[in-house]
Amino acid sequence: MLRIRRFEQQALKYYNQGIMGGFLHLYNGQESVAVGTASLMNGHDEIITAYRDHGHALAVGMGMNECMAELFGKGTGCSKGKGGSMHFFAPDKHYWGGHGIVAGQTPLGLGLAFAIKYKQINGCAVAFLGDGAVNQGVFSECLNMAALWDLPIVYVIENNGYSMGTSLERSSAVNGSLAKRAEGFCVEWATCGGFDLYELRANLGAAMERARKESKPMVLEVSTYRYYGHSVADANAKKYRAPEEIELYKTDYDPITRWQNQLLKEKTVTQAQIEKIDDEAKAEAAAAAEFGIASPWPSEESIFEDIYHEVDHKTEAGQTGRFFFSE
Amino acid sequence: MPLITYRQALNDAFAEELTRDENVFLMGEEVAQYNGAYKVTEGLWKRFGCKRVIDTPISEAAFLGLGVGAAMMGLRPVVELMFWSFAYVGFDQIINNAGCIRYMSGGLINVPMVIRGPANGGTNVGATHSHTPENFLANTPGLKVVCPATPYDAKGLMIASIRDNDTVCFMENTLLYGDLGEVPDGSYTIPLGVADVKREGLDVSLIAHGRAVLTCLAAAEILATEHGIEAEVVDLRSIRPLDEETILNSVAKTHRAVLVDENKPFCGVSAQIAALLAEHAFDDLDAPVLRVTALDAPAIYSMPLEKLQLPDAQAVVAKVLSSF
Ligand SMILES: Cc1ncc(C[n+]2csc(CCOP(=O)(O)OP(=O)(O)O)c2C)c(N)n1
């Protein structure tokens, strides 16, 4: 969790200096959700998320260098500078991105679950979405199909209370729980806090295990909070939430502080060890930023690479498709 | 070679591929137990079972996206749209996901999927059911677009599309499903991106895809017998990749081009080819490039007017004559 937070703080610094482009949707405050999930993956589970994806990426083991370089748009980035902040991917780590269209990833998650079942793998898919994404029609379609076909998927709603500047109260007709909508599709659901890592892991773990064992979908709504605006470029970041509200979450609900206190109480770690971990995370993030800055831009030729498999694998080109571009 | 229908040729292609590769599965509304709204998948559910041939709810966005997710994991989905007109409900999944993921992941992820179904007007079903969105799809780098005109091409192109490692938008035509043609038994592929000269000629190139190819062949027959004009008919077969070489070679030979397209003229496929010829064939041309396209209005329901809306052989003949 500390690594994610320090990574994003470095990113924020360079974003504010204007040398990093695009959108930067920070995950600050929500780190426990990605870390909790990654810690429960069994090697056959697959995960996918939306555009607030730095945390999930680092949690599954992507390197800070490749992620930071991607933010700078460099050729050494995880997507060779073609994806940016919203589009990190690591299929080798069972991590399928990073998606910029709200709820567009929810049927892809269904496809991951479908493939798991088709191949008779002992795993499940976990697809993350926001409280705003729940209102997209495609998510409801997914719940119907997941239930109809008994697909092993856990939809995790990271409910941070806001979709951009619109509060939950102003976007959702159903008061109380969003996960409750699953009832309409006979899909099991639960809610839990995302601030306490143990509580979160217990709930996530049960949902994932049920998905694997019984091949059943589930919706788990996790309450969480983000400290920064919707994105760093969010012009109204300070207008739609009271400063006291943000302060309260930072002081009383921060998942990192909470877990640190828990570990100290258990005497699992010492204060000195925590500081050391934090120092290492800071140093790693700073080095990653340097790596990103020092890395070269992608080559001009790379504009036309990675569009079609056949174009990139010349041996097959003779068989499938000859003229892709006029020049 | 056995004489079979366009529909049967596609059905044979699915059977071949379902047998050859267990990662291939068919999915869509009514493709399984109902045997396909147009009977293209007839008998396959019975033969291959419900794991491989799957009926979906009416949820285009969800099942197209499911196909993309499954393809990312190495399966080879063949997803049917009852009409390509319904693709718009799932365009996010086709364009943003199937079309862009390979690029946005820097080549880490392939989406080997076929999205297929009929895309045509001329069946008197009004504007919402008559769209031919090949121009929209071809406008998305990352997608391939295939439009077969004959049963032979349908089978070979379908097998190639299923084996292709990118997403192929395969556009059929309900008016062609019953057409007969010679099709060999067993597997064969036709590479995507290779056009076919369906009739040789020296006087004018008629360039088309899908059912308009047959319109061109009929027009060529009239031109030859009634006017002594020998038209060459170039069947594009795939819109993207586009076989620019064959188009340019034909026009270099005939010095005249008439583009025939059941798509709308504005930003349509014919507009793309006209631009290609303007850029690369200007010196070869003895006459302006002419187009015969669908009229630029939503498909009208009323039968006689709908007939006017799509190009027919007489319209092609008239256009060719006007260029001499
Ligand atoms: C289809 C679509 N509509 C709108 C947007 C613009 N947009 C991006 S994020 C967002 C808010 C989504 O909120 P939520 O799902 O709650 O996720 P959170 O940002 O809270 O993590 C909006 C409106 C988009 N990217 N895609």
Longest dimension (CA), chain A: 67
Residue B139 token pair: 């406008």
- The answer to whether residues A88 and A79 touch, using CB atoms and an 8 Å cutoff, is yes
Question: What is the mean predicted confidence (pLDDT) over A93-101?
Answer: 97
Q: Closest Cα to atom 7, ligand 1: which residue?
A: A102
Is B226 an annotated catalytic residue? no
| DSSP line for A169-224 | HHH-SS-S-SGGGGGGGT-EEEEEESSSHHHHHHHHHHHHHHHHHH---EEEEEE-
What is the model's pLDDT at position A320?
42
Is B129 an annotated catalytic residue? yes
User: Scanning every residue of chain B, which has its alpha carbon at the shortest distance from the alpha carbon of A139?
Assistant: B62
> Which of A126, A222, A220 lies closest to A182, judged by CA?
A220
Question: What is the mean predicted confidence (pLDDT) over A55-80?
Answer: 98
CB atoms within 10 A of CB A199: 15
Closest in B103, B163, B192 to A307, CB measured: B103
User: Do A145 and B63 count as a contact with CB atoms less than 8 A apart?
Assistant: yes
User: Do B107 and A118 count as a contact with CB atoms less than 8 A apart?
Assistant: no
CB of A163 closer than 6 A to ligand 1?
yes
Amino acid at B142: G
Q: How far is B238 from chain A (nearest CA, A)?
A: 9
Over pLDDT 70: what percentage of chain B?
100
User: Do A82 and B104 count as a contact with CB atoms less than 8 A apart?
Assistant: yes
Residue A237 token pair: 């970041």
CB of A164 closer than 6 A to ligand 1?
yes
| DSSP line for B84-99 | GGGGGGGHIIIIIIIT
Residue in the block written with tokens 């556009």? B171
Residues of chain B found within 8 Å of residue A46, distances taken between Cβ atoms: 73
Q: What is the mean pLDDT of chain A?
A: 94
Distance from the CA of B68 to the center of ligand 1, in angstroms? 21
How does pLDDT run across A239-270, given as a tens digit for each residue? 999 999 999 999 999 999 999 999 999 999 99
- The answer to whether residues B158 and B13 touch, using CB atoms and an 8 Å cutoff, is yes
Task: State the catalytic residue, choosing from B129, B131, B134, B172.
Answer: B129
Q: Where are the alpha helices (DSSP H) in A222-297?
A: 243-248, 255-266, 271-294
User: Can you tell me the distance from the alpha carbon of B284 to that of B289, in angstroms, rounded to the nearest whole number?
Assistant: 11
Question: What is the mean predicted confidence (pLDDT) over A47-72?
Answer: 98
State which H helix or E strand residue A115 sits in: helix A105-118
Length of chain B: 324
What is the rounded radius of gyration, in angstroms, for the C-alpha atoms of chain A? Answer: 20
How does pLDDT run across A206-219, given as a tens digit for each residue? 999 999 999 999 99
Strands B114-118 and B76-80: parallel
**pLDDT above 50 for A327:** no
User: Do A118 and B142 count as a contact with CB atoms less than 8 A apart?
Assistant: no
User: Do B160 and A141 count as a contact with CB atoms less than 8 A apart?
Assistant: no
Residues of chain A found within 8 Å of residue B159, distances taken between Cβ atoms: none
Residues 6+ apart with CB under 8 A from A300: none
Closest in B65, B160, B276 to A326, CB measured: B276
User: Can you tell me the distance from the alpha carbon of B275 to that of B255, in angstroms, rounded to the nearest whole number?
Assistant: 16
Amino acid at B41: T
Query: What is the arrangement of strands in the sheet containing B53-55, beginning at the earlier edge strand?
Result: B53-55, B24-28, B76-80, B114-118, B167-172, B143-146, B238-240
Closest in B25, B65, B164 to A320, CB measured: B164
> Which of A34, A36, A32, A33 lies closest to A205, judged by CA?
A36
Closest in A97, A112, A148 to B73, CB measured: A112
User: Can you tell me the distance from the alpha carbon of B158 to that of B183, in angstroms, rounded to the nearest whole number?
Assistant: 13
Distance from the CA of A136 to the center of ligand 1, in angstroms? 10
> Which of A221, A60, A215 lies closest to A156, judged by CA?
A221
How does pLDDT run across A173-192, given as a tens digit for each residue? 987 899 999 999 999 999 99
- Selected for mutation to probe chain A from B91, B105, B144, B249 (highest A CB count within 10 Å) is B105
Distance from the CA of B113 to the center of ligand 1, in angstroms? 27
What is the model's pLDDT at position A175?
73
How does pLDDT run across A227-236, given as a tens digit for each residue? 999 999 888 8
Q: Where are the alpha helices (DSSP H) in B167-312?
A: 212-227, 244-254, 269-280, 303-309
Residues 6+ apart with CB under 8 A from B49: none
CB of A100 closer than 6 A to ligand 1?
yes
User: Do A91 and B51 count as a contact with CB atoms less than 8 A apart?
Assistant: no
> Which of A92, A103, A312, A127 lies closest to B73, judged by CA?
A92
What is the model's pLDDT at position A318?
42
User: Do B73 and A48 count as a contact with CB atoms less than 8 A apart?
Assistant: no
* Confidence label for A313 from pLDDT (cuts 50, 70 and 90): confident
- N- to C-terminal Cα separation, chain B: 40
CB atoms within 10 A of CB B178: 12
Distance from the CA of A173 to the center of ligand 1, in angstroms? 17
Residue B313 token pair: 């052989």
Q: How far is A161 from chain B (nearest CA, A)?
A: 26
Residues 6+ apart with CB under 8 A from B258: B204, B205, B206, B207, B289, B290, B291, B292, B316, B319, B320, B323
Q: Closest Cα to atom 23, ligand 1: which residue?
A: A164
Q: What are phi and psi of A160, to 5 degrees?
A: -100, 10
Question: What is the mean predicted confidence (pLDDT) over A262-284?
Answer: 97
Best residue among A102, A158, A221, A223 to mutate for probing ligand 1, ranked by most atoms within 8 Å of CB: A102
Over pLDDT 90: what percentage of chain A?
91
Residues 6+ apart with CB under 8 A from A265: none
Cis amide linkage into residue B133, ω under 30° from 0: no
Residues 6+ apart with CB under 8 A from A130: A50, A52, A102, A157, A158, A159, A160, A163
Q: Closest Cα to atom 11, ligand 1: which residue?
A: A163
- The answer to whether residues B50 and B56 touch, using CB atoms and an 8 Å cutoff, is no
**pLDDT above 70 for A315:** no
> Which of A204, A217, A89, A212 lies closest to A141, judged by CA?
A217
Distance from the CA of A43 to the center of ligand 1, in angstroms? 30
